[in-house]
């Protein structure tokens, strides 16, 4: 079962807060499936008001992949090879949003101005992993929607 970002905020605020600092308005990497093969795309997720959104240009291969099955995995960008800023990844199902009120909500939390033709997807979550590195050792916190 995939759920909105609000669920992770309600159930694991520490993981949600860490994740928001790592992906909100920052380049992250979205993995989608195309004919049984993974495909990686840079995206800029938006986190706020209980949702995680991405805007996508209509001609992007991401659109076809997400419309075909919706499954995705997203990993934050990294600042260095030692992972000093931490890692955050989520997985779930992307849902295309056509409601103009939801689009306005997404635009209100957006750090950039999306084009009028850009499509909006909500990244609903099935799981999340927040990893920080202390003394070179990974400290992982996991959350699952199930």
E strands, 1-146, where?
A: 28-34, 37-43, 46-48, 51-56, 71-76, 87-97, 119-134, 137-144
pLDDT score, position 78 = 86
Q: Are 96 and 58 in contact (CB under 8 A)?
A: no
Average pLDDT over residues 27-33: 97
Statement: residue 24 has pLDDT above 90: yes
pLDDT score, position 36 = 86
Tally the C-alpha atoms within 13 A of residue 93's C-alpha that lie toward its C-beta. Answer: 9
Q: Which pTM value belongs to this model?
A: 0.95
Q: Residues near 18 by Cβ (< 8 Å), separated by ≥ 6?
A: 86, 88, 130, 132, 141
Q: Using one digit for the tens of pLDDT, what is the confidence trace for 100-142? A: 999 999 999 998 899 999 999 999 999 999 999 888 789 999 9
pLDDT score, position 27 = 96
Q: Using one digit for the tens of pLDDT, what is the confidence trace for 59-94? A: 999 999 999 999 999 999 988 777 778 999 999 999
* Terminal Cα distance for the chain, rounded: 7
pLDDT score, position 80 = 78
Domains of the chain: 5-144 (2.30.110.10)
Q: Using one digit for the tens of pLDDT, what is the confidence trace for 37-49? A: 999 999 999 999 9
């Amino acid at each position: 079962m995939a759920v909105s970002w609000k669920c992770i905020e309600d159930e694991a605020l520490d993981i949600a807060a860490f994740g928001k600092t790592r992906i909100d308005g920052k380049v992250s990497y979205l993995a989608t499936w195309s004919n049984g093969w993974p495909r990686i795309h840079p995206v800029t997720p938006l986190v706020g008001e209980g949702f995680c959104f991405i805007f996508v240009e209509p001609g992007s291969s991401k659109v076809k992949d997400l419309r075909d099955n919706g499954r995705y995995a997203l990993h934050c960008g990294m600042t260095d090879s030692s992972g000093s800023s931490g890692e955050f990844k989520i997985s779930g199902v992307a849902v295309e949003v056509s409601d103009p009120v939801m689009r306005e909500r997404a635009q209100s939390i957006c750090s950039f101005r999306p084009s009028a033709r850009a499509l909006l997807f909500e990244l609903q979550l099935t799981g999340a992993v927040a990893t920080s590195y202390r003394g070179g050792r990974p400290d992982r916190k996991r959350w699952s929607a199930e």
